[in-house]
Structure formats: structure tokens, C-alpha cells
Amino acid sequence: MQALDQIMQRVKLGFDNYAVRAFGWKAAQLLDYAASLKVDTVLLSDLDVYENYTDKHLNEIKAKADGLGIEIHAGTLSICPSSVMWSDRWGTAEELLKLTIRVAKALGSPVARCVLGKVDDRSSRGGIEARIEETVKVLKAVRNFALDSGVKIAVENHAGDMQAWELITLIEAAGREVVGATMDSGNATWALEHPLQNLEILGPYALTTGIRDSAVWETNEGAILQWTAIGDGQIDFKEYFKRFAEICPNTPVQLETISGRPIPLPYYRDDFWEAYSRVRTREFMKFLALARDGKPRRPFGVPKGKDAKLAEQKFQKAELERSVRYCREVLGLGRKK
């Protein structure tokens, strides 16, 4: 049996373009940046990174990626027609998902990443169960198109919308042969999960990822969550990636740093639990232990007298690059180039 550290060295390391969103880079620029970081892969998680969706343009992007030795994972946002995040900019949900699959196939991406929505959908009419049901209908409607394309659909646990077990319910209902997960360690904490617990449950379904560190600390109303660069938060990523390499060694690590943004989780308020009535006690206790062990962090703010956009760009770039270094030098992830 191969040593675990050898397996970890083969885990591909990359990033989600949302990590450097303040730059507004298109696909070609993102590939150049990825090459400068010497990463293996990049998740282009929205359709706005392309100049257009013609075969000519997509073939040019693929050729550039191939020349740089970078694997692209393609994606979009909400495919749930009743989600608070839904936009009909690309037509129906089925049309949006088919476009994303077509883009993915053209770029050589094995996955088409998408999301249901965000935490607000848990409080919508019918709750998250109704939104899951609607999303499953969309996924089933494009099933044959996805199978013919050879692209798997990777639904993310996104912005607190679903816990790991809820996403698995969606995947199993839609059909695991065509649907898997985009496993997001940061969004796990938004959904009251410990990232290691989320990994244990969702890891076997993970086709791609969104990885960042988390800091959580208690308040009078519950807790505050704030994401950090890898190694700056509370998550033991040595333990995390040891299990990651065992559970899903062929899944790339896409870093999606969204640091310095405090998110309140007021779970001591009764009305909070209306959206979380089916949370599993044992799993929540693991999250609660994380919160009780945490200490307050300072949120990101634009320094006085500095240009806001430039400050955001500098901060985002530094957080991502520090995370890449930590993953490569401390955790031993990514192929050595």
C-alpha cells in the first residue's frame, strides 16, 4: 500500500476564481495567474469569466490551459428556479445547466459545478426540502444531456443552504451516476457543521471542492463565523487532508479564500431554529465545541486613505497565495513542478 504522504502529493491543488474576484479577471488572465502560482487546476465557478460561449473561444481557452498544464473545472451558480439566488439571465434552469455542461465539455472539465442557493432558502416557503425537490427536477431533466456529454454535475453545499446529509439526499434523488458534490469546507461551518464531520459524510461524493479555513467564536446570541486563509483558522488541516487523501484522493483541492467577512449564527434565538429543525444533535455538538474553542477575529476593513478596490485586490491575493504556500509546504499537497 502506498504511503499516505505519497497519495497527498498527488492530490491536485488549485483555486476557485472567486478567491480573487476583486480583479474581475477573465479566463485567460486567470490561467496566467494560476500558472504563476504553479498550481494544477482552477475552478472557473461562474460563466462571466468567458468572453463568449462560442466553440472558437472555448477551444482557445482549453488550448491555453493544456499548454500551461492546468486542468479546468467549470461552473455556474444557482439552478433552483425558486431560490433567492436564481437569475433567468441564461434562460430556464435547464438551459443554464445545459450551457454549463456544454462549456465544461469544451474545456475538458469533468464536472459542471452549480449550487442550489444560499442560507435564506432554508426560510423560504416549504423550506430547504422544497428547494431540494425543485433542484432534483432540474437535474433529472438534463440527466441524458449530461450522460451524453460525459460531464458530471457537482452541486455545492453553498452559503449555508444545505448540510452534508441534505446534499447527499439531493444527489441520491437525482442519481449518483450523473450528480456528485462540490464539497466546501467553509460553507460547512456556515451550515453549523464541523468541516471534518462534513468531510466524513460528503467526501465520498466529492467531485471538486471549495476549501478555506474557519474561525468560530461564541457570542451572547450564538456564534460568529469568519473565514481565514488556510492555517490561520481553527481547522486542523493536517488531520483534514489525511482523511481527504483516504476518502477522495482523486478530487482536487480548489482553494476559495473569502477571508475577513463575519457571519452571525444566532442559534440561542428560538426563531433561528425554524430553518434548522432537522439538524442532527450529535453533528451540531461538534460544531458547538469548535465555537467554544474559538476567539474573536478582526474583520477585514479598507485601511484609512486607501483605495477600496486596490485594498480588496491586495488582501484577496495575499490570502490565496498564503494558502497555496501552506498547502504545498506544510501539508504537502499538489504536484511538484
Residues ≥6 apart with Cβ < 8 Å to 240 = 185, 195, 196, 199
Q: Collapsing DSSP states into helix, strand and coil, what is residue 223?
A: strand
The structural domains of the chain, ordered by start, are 4-214+234-259 (3.20.20.150)
Nearest-angstrom CA–CA distance, 152 and 156: 13
The predicted-structure confidence for 169-192, as pLDDT tens digits, reads as follows 999 999 999 999 999 999 999 999
pLDDT of residue 304: 85
Looking at the chain, the number of H-run helices and the number of E-run strands are 12, 11
In single-letter form, the type of residue at position 121 comes to D
| pLDDT at site 189 | 98
**Pair 11, 249: CB distance under 8 Å:** yes
Q: Would you state the pLDDT for residue 238?
A: 95
**DSSP H helices in 69-216:** 93-107, 127-141, 143-149, 164-174, 185-190, 195-202
Give the pLDDT of residue 306: 85
| pLDDT at residue 195 in the model | 98
Handedness of CA 86, 255, 174, 122 (dihedral sign): negative
- Three-state SS letters, 197-211: HHHHHHHHHEEEEEE
Closest to 230 (Cα-Cα) out of 337, 160, 302, 328: 328
Q: Which three cell numbers stand for residue 146?
A: 449530461
The 8-class DSSP code of residue 47 comes to: G
For the chain, which residues score pLDDT lower than 70? 1-9, 336-337
Instruction: Give the integer Cα–Cα distance in Å for 113 and 79.
Output: 10
Q: How many CA atoms lie within 13 A of 73 on its CB side?
A: 30
Side-by-side strand order, sheet with 223-228: 213-218, 223-228, 263-265
Q: Collapsing DSSP states into helix, strand and coil, what is residue 244?
A: helix
pTM for this predicted structure? 0.96
Report pLDDT for 1. Answer: 41
pLDDT of residue 303: 86
